[in-house]
């Protein structure tokens, strides 16, 4: 691996090892064993792989994991009932609704039913609002992982010009908030942006979360920029990112590969959030008893 390639696998392994140690400490000190519940509606093969992997990694970290797989034609009220039921279940500290859901379901309405204390995906209006206000909150796992990768690469974030491309609630918007909170000057680009290349060329930090294979090319990137590629695109040549690695890597100070970059961090940060959720709920329970 070249010196400037950020090794997401290694950083994610460190995070998972740390979570495993801290889960053991929490349990040893009389705290709860963190529990993660996932809800998968339908049989989308990619979602099945993601959910399986979330369970494997949470068990490896010493957590309990509960999977609820529902048929693709499950009506809204049944999924809603399950979310409410998991919210009342003391052994469940984190609830994750695997997205995307089938068309008959209103994912926004379902997400809004997740108890904010158990919102390990950070997608509820409460979590998103707290993040926007700069208050402690559950942060979506992927952008949170991007911040860890920037730090692992010793990136100067404070005062840096950062460009985020993509404005989804899952990645782009929380990424913007996190960079802003870390005192970067953030420019946000999307499909209606005029002169995307011009914005990207001025950036010290580039985060691409678009879903268009290799759209960020070497001629668009300033020498010495740090480039985080969130994109996961399945092509005939295999998985590729939103960044054209071959032309961008020679110019970048540091760059994440696809695969082996951001994707590795997403599950690791989900475990961080589940542990944090268990700690907060244990704290809330103690406060209620006291």
Where do contacts with ligand NAP occur on this chain (CB under 6 A)?
142, 165-168, 170-172, 189-193, 196, 209-212, 230-233, 262-263, 266
User: Contact at 8 Å (CB) between 217 and 204?
Assistant: no
Nearer residue to ligand NAP within complex by CB, 26 or 243: 243
Nearest approach in angstroms of CB 3 to ligand NAP is 23
Nearest approach in angstroms of CB 244 to ligand NAP is 14
Given the residues 115, 121, 148, 204, select the one marked as catalytic: 121
Given the residues 57, 64, 98, 281, select the one marked as catalytic: 98
Nearest approach in angstroms of CB 283 to ligand NAP is 29
**Among 143, 156, 163, 155, CA closest to 222:** 163
On the CB side of 8, how many CA atoms lie within 13 Å of its CA? Answer: 24
Nearer residue to ligand NAP within complex by CB, 47 or 137: 47
Tokens standing for 36?
């993660």
Counting every residue written for the chain, the total comes to 290
Nearest approach in angstroms of CB 132 to ligand NAP is 17
Nearer residue to ligand NAP within complex by CB, 112 or 196: 196
Q: What are phi and psi of 55, to 5 degrees?
A: -70, -45
Nearer residue to ligand NAP within complex by CB, 31 or 122: 122
**Among 117, 99, 92, 87, CA closest to 39:** 99
Query: Is 281 among the catalytic positions?
Result: no
| H-type alpha helices, the chain | 8-28, 45-60, 76-88, 107-112, 125-133, 141-152, 172-181, 196-201, 245-248, 262-289
Query: Is 177 among the catalytic positions?
Result: no
d(CA 171, CA 215) in angstroms, rounded, equals 17
Q: Which residues are catalytic?
A: 54, 98, 121
């Amino acid at each position: 691996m070249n010196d400037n390639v950020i090794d997401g696998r290694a950083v994610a392994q460190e995070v998972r090892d740390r979570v495993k140690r801290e889960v053991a400490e929490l349990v040893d000190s009389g705290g709860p064993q963190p529990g993660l519940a996932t809800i998968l509606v339908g049989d989308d093969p990619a979602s099945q792989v993601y959910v399986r992997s979330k369970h494997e990694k949470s068990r490896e970290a010493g957590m309990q994991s509960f999977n609820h797989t529902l048929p693709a034609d499950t009506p809204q009220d049944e999924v809603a009932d399950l979310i409410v039921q998991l919210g009342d279940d003391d052994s469940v500290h984190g609830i994750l609704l695997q997205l995307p859901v089938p068309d008959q379901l209103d994912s926004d309405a379902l997400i809004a039913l997740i108890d904010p204390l158990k919102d390990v995906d950070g997608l509820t209006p409460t979590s998103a609002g707290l993040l926007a206000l700069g208050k402690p909150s559950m942060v979506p796992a992927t952008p949170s992982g991007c911040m860890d990768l920037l730090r692992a690469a010793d990136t100067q974030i404070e005062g840096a010009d950062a460009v985020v491309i993509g404005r989804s609630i899952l990645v782009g918007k929380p990424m913007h908030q996190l960079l802003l909170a870390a005192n970067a000057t953030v420019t946000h680009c999307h499909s209606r942006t005029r002169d995307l290349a011009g914005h990207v060329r001025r950036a010290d930090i580039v985060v691409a979360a678009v879903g268009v294979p290799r759209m960020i090319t070497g001629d668009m990137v300033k020498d010495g920029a740090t480039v985080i590629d969130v994109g996961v695109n399945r092509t005939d040549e295999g998985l590729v990112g939103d960044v054209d690695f071959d032309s961008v890597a020679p110019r970048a100070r540091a760059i994440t590969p696809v695969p082996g970059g951001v994707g590795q961090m997403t599950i690791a940060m989900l475990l961080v959030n589940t542990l944090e959720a268990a700690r907060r709920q244990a704290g809330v329970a103690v406060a209620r008893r006291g």
